[in-house]
A and B are shown apart, each in its own frame.
Chain A
Amino acid sequence: MNLATFWFILIAILFTGYFVLEGFDFGVGILLSLLSRDETDRRVMINTIGPVWDGNEVWLITAGGAMFAAFPLWYASLFSGFYLALLIILVALIVRGVCFEFRSKVDSVRWRANWDRAIFAGSVLPAVLWGVAFANIVRGVPLNAAHVYTGNLLTLLNWYGLLGGLVTLSLFTLHGAIFLSLRITGVLRDRARRTALGVALAAVPLAAAFLAATQVSHGRPATDVTAGLAAVALLGGVAAAFRGREGWAFAGTAATLALAVATLFGDLWPNVLPSSTSAAFSLTVSNASSAHYTLVVMSWVAVIFTPIVLGYQGWTYWVFRKRLTSSDIPAAKTPASSSTGLGGTQRPAGGQS
């Protein structure tokens, strides 16, 4: 295996990390208003991802940086070509990110309700658009001889791209519902589990249709296997959720996302961005990659530091492994007590435990 292919796989792994981790963050954001009955419910839900969402988002930044360093032409054509789609994703991620930090800082029903709407929009839009983007990358986009994208935003909104968007939306919502059922306890936990089963009714047929369509047009034997395993993992995850085995259910949806990314990247290789104008204009692993020395340096950096990152991120999840209940959430602040200004609590026991 040459180094460029190694980096292609590494970028697939970084996007896998991003979708598995921020996938449930998006799901929690989408379900925030749908699943909650009161402010305490919402705070329990937000606090399940509170300590980790920021670190999860860095997987995207690292994937973007890795693309820039290892496949400059892929990064250049993709990011300039998908300009408006990426703009929407960026705006959504910006709004969503500050929501978490700002929401708790003011004790007012209207203030929080506005941020809750923003969290919903900021979670739905990227959840759809990542699917649209990756479906179109596999399908191929109009690129000219200089590898410049010649379409526009509407070019991306073809039926296959939109199907991809619905798949990521439903999978992330399912993944988020299962994550919530794993991380909280009490009534909200049951509600999350039942919601997961409801979402699965949409997610399973959508994912099956998308994977089948993908394999018919772009498949190869190896990815037929990963696509099949993705379907098995999804069904297994849903079955586990049905039987109340939330840990297995989460492993199932996480594996589904990982195998789906493997399938898409496997179908894509050796292209990185196929041109629908002419196959000769496609960007490939070899014509888009950096020179040998850059790849060698970056390989050493990745081989040494990726395990370290996995180690401390894993440790973070271990620290915050305990299920949350409404009694872990500090009592809602009254106007007088909001004078602590810390987004915190009157009762000293509060917070996150």
Chain B
Amino acid sequence: MTVLELSRWQFGITTVYHFIFVPLTIGLSILVACMQTAWLVKKDPVYLRMTKFFGTIFLINFAVGVVTGIVEEFQFGMNWSAYSAFVGNVFGAPLAMEALLAFFLESTFIGLWIFGWNKLPPRLHLATIWIAAIGTNMSAYFILAANSWMQHPVGYRVNPVTHRTELTSIVALLTNSTVLAAWPHVILASFVIAGMVVIAVSAWHLARNSQTDVFRRAMRIGLAVTLAAGIATAVTGDIQARLMDSQQPMKMAAAEALYNTSAPASFSLFTIGSLSGGKELWSVRVPYLLSLIATLNPHGTVQGIDNVEHAYDKKYGPGSYKPVIPVTYWSFRLMIGFGMLATLLALIGLWLTRRRRIPRARWFYRAAIWGVALPYLATTSGWIFTEMGRQPWTVFGLMTTAQSVSPGVTASSVIISMTVFTLLYGALAAIAWWLTIRHVKVGAPAEAEPGAAEPLPVFSY
């Protein structure tokens, strides 16, 4: 494999991995803050136990998210130095702002929250988890603003002397229509993950009739969050589809493996056959749907891959501007499908738990526990779709991935780093997973004796 291919694999592995841990912390930070708020407002110890229990799951994931995030920032320079030199003027700004405005905030206030239970007055202590949660969500905004610039570059010019991009408007960069749609989509999807984790954990305990006081309520919270966030994720994704159609028509066409411009265009739920050019053996199609998704008009025109390719040949010079179509086609469907299944599960769960009911059906608990994989598969598919769908570009229309790779880094160096990261990340995932399961099985901390100095055990190292 070439340095380019190795570097792409490494970036893919480390980034997909990073985003297994991050979305849970984005959603769960807010949910834990809400639980702690409920405790302070209602004075009900159940909410304190919930806060501590889900707080520990949050912290295990937060630790892995933080340390794998450093790799993300460093590997632009390490593996993609040509890219970094070309875009640093523009792309570096939101990254630096993320560190200074958001990451400092979340990391510092997480420390205050973990160790501040006995040190800070309750309201001030509550404020620390809220500030950390807000920092986490702001952090996502800056990172997505940087990513959105790669999808849809705005607020820049290319300096004719240095041949590097230069920022011309930070406001344009931060209010890019792409990030305004991507941020809510990612945040809401993160809430689906957090909600499903709460559901799965609660299901494990309710199925065993253990700690029902905590987990019946936690289950309802998880179900409501997952349903609401799942629907809202679909709505924001729909808005993104129309932006994508105008900003990256190749990606829209690749999402459907639509080779020829069509009006109206149908959407295939499933295809058997070759996706690399029209040899379709069998497929299930919904008429008009792709036109509707892409243009809001059932008879709207959706451009085909071959037509876009032809236009790009004229605009950017001869070459291939197609992403890997089977990957974009299936990742797009899996993202939507897994997300919808999670939402459906939440809807069923809300019905089964109506009016303080505790469901008895084993199948529901089994589905709720294993269903935790669904939103993770959906977000992973979503990122694979949006990043692979942008290929062959790193910055759409400006720089290709092949031009971005570090010229001085050898294949053997990347083989070493990729092997090390893969093994290390694998081990970390196994440990974090094992710790989480162990913690989940133990369950929420018991209620303290009345009159004890502290309501519950505190976090410490």
By the criterion CB–CB under 8 Å, are B454 and A58 in contact? no
By the criterion CB–CB under 8 Å, are A104 and B461 in contact? yes
Question: Within the assembled complex, what's the spacing in Å between the Cα atoms of A57 and B461?
Answer: 18
Question: Within the assembled complex, what's the spacing in Å between the Cα atoms of A339 and B62?
Answer: 22
Which of A60, A65, A79, A94 interacts with B95 by CB under 8 Å?
A: A65
In the complex, what residues of B have CB within 8 A of residue A343's CB? 56, 459-461
Indicate if A158 sits at the interface (CB-CB under 8 A): no
Question: Within the assembled complex, what's the spacing in Å between the Cα atoms of A232 and B438?
Answer: 53
By the criterion CB–CB under 8 Å, are A65 and B460 in contact? no
Identify whether the interface residues of B are mostly helix, strand, loop, or mixed.
helix
By the criterion CB–CB under 8 Å, are A83 and B424 in contact? no
Indicate if B272 sits at the interface (CB-CB under 8 A): no
Tell me which of A194-202, A205-213, A250-258, A304-312 binds B. A304-312
Q: Which of B87, B104, B416 has the most CB of A within 10 A?
A: B104
Question: Within the assembled complex, what's the spacing in Å between the Cα atoms of A150 and B71?
Answer: 23
Indicate if A187 sits at the interface (CB-CB under 8 A): no
Indicate if A293 sits at the interface (CB-CB under 8 A): yes
Question: Within the assembled complex, what's the spacing in Å between the Cα atoms of A214 and B458?
Answer: 49
Question: Would you give the 0/1 interface string for A64-79, flagging 1 where the beta carbon is closer than 8 Å to chain B?
Answer: 1110111111011111
In the complex, what residues of A have CB within 8 A of residue B428's CB? 94, 98
Indicate if B426 sits at the interface (CB-CB under 8 A): no
Closest B residue to A94 by CB, please name it: B67
Q: Which of B68, B82, B458, B461 has the most CB of A within 10 A?
A: B461
What is the CB-to-nearest-CB distance from B322 to chain A, in angstroms, rounded to a whole number?
29
By the criterion CB–CB under 8 Å, are A352 and B71 in contact? no
By the criterion CB–CB under 8 Å, are A341 and B60 in contact? no
Which of A43, A69, A150, A290 interacts with B461 by CB under 8 Å?
A: A43
Residues of B in contact with A, size category? 35 or more
What is the CB-to-nearest-CB distance from A305 to chain B, in angstroms, rounded to a whole number?
5
By the criterion CB–CB under 8 Å, are B460 and A351 in contact? yes
Indicate if A280 sits at the interface (CB-CB under 8 A): no
In the complex, what residues of A have CB within 8 A of residue B110's CB? 54
By the criterion CB–CB under 8 Å, are A62 and B99 in contact? yes
What is the CB-to-nearest-CB distance from B335 to chain A, in angstroms, rounded to a whole number?
28
By the criterion CB–CB under 8 Å, are B87 and A341 in contact? no
Tell me which of B113-121, B217-225, B238-246, B392-400 binds A. B113-121
By the criterion CB–CB under 8 Å, are A298 and B93 in contact? yes
By the criterion CB–CB under 8 Å, are A297 and B170 in contact? yes
By the criterion CB–CB under 8 Å, are A46 and B101 in contact? no
In the complex, what residues of B have CB within 8 A of residue A60's CB? 70
Closest B residue to A100 by CB, please name it: B461
In the complex, what residues of A have CB within 8 A of residue B76's CB? 68, 75, 79
What is the CB-to-nearest-CB distance from A238 to chain B, in angstroms, rounded to a whole number?
30
In the complex, what residues of B have CB within 8 A of residue A150's CB? 408
In the complex, what residues of B have CB within 8 A of residue A101's CB? 59-60, 62-63, 461
In the complex, what residues of B have CB within 8 A of residue A306's CB? 100
Indicate if B64 sits at the interface (CB-CB under 8 A): yes
Taking A58-B99, A148-B407, A351-B117 as contacts, is the C-beta distance between A316 and B74 under 8 angstroms? no
Which of B87, B91, B103, B116 interacts with A61 by CB under 8 Å?
A: B103
Q: Which of B82, B89, B456 has the most CB of A within 10 A?
A: B89
Which of A54, A293, A329 interacts with B166 by CB under 8 Å?
A: A293
Which of A86, A149, A293 interacts with B167 by CB under 8 Å?
A: A293
Q: Which of B110, B428, B457, B458 has the most CB of A within 10 A?
A: B457
By the criterion CB–CB under 8 Å, are B120 and A319 in contact? yes
Indicate if B274 sits at the interface (CB-CB under 8 A): no
What is the CB-to-nearest-CB distance from B424 to chain A, in angstroms, rounded to a whole number?
6
- Contacting A at CB under 8 A, from B71-107, are 71, 73-74, 76-79, 81-82, 84-93, 95-101, 103-105, 107
Indicate if B390 sits at the interface (CB-CB under 8 A): no
Indicate if A51 sits at the interface (CB-CB under 8 A): yes
In the complex, what residues of B have CB within 8 A of residue A94's CB? 67-68, 70-71, 424, 428
By the criterion CB–CB under 8 Å, are B104 and A62 in contact? yes
What is the CB-to-nearest-CB distance from B114 to chain A, in angstroms, rounded to a whole number?
7
Taking A62-B99, A68-B77, A79-B74 as contacts, is the C-beta distance between A97 and B88 under 8 angstroms? no
Indicate if A278 sits at the interface (CB-CB under 8 A): no
By the criterion CB–CB under 8 Å, are A345 and B457 in contact? yes
- Contacting A at CB under 8 A, from B422-461, are 424, 428, 431-432, 435, 438-439, 442-443, 445-446, 448, 452-461
Residue positions of B touching A, CB distance < 8 A? 52, 56, 59-60, 62-64, 66-71, 73-74, 76-79, 81-82, 84-93, 95-101, 103-105, 107-112, 114-120, 159, 164, 166-168, 170, 406-409, 413, 416-417, 420, 424, 428, 431-432, 435, 438-439, 442-443, 445-446, 448, 452-461
A sample of 20 cross-chain residue pairs with beta-carbon separation below 8 angstroms, ordered by A number, consists of A52-B111, A55-B107, A62-B104, A64-B99, A66-B99, A72-B88, A79-B74, A79-B77, A80-B79, A80-B408, A94-B424, A100-B461, A101-B461, A106-B438, A294-B93, A302-B100, A316-B112, A342-B459, A350-B457, A350-B458
Given contacts A87-B420, A316-B112, A319-B112, 12 further A-B contacts (CB under 8 A): A57-B70, A61-B70, A61-B103, A65-B73, A79-B84, A83-B409, A104-B461, A291-B166, A297-B167, A301-B97, A342-B456, A346-B457
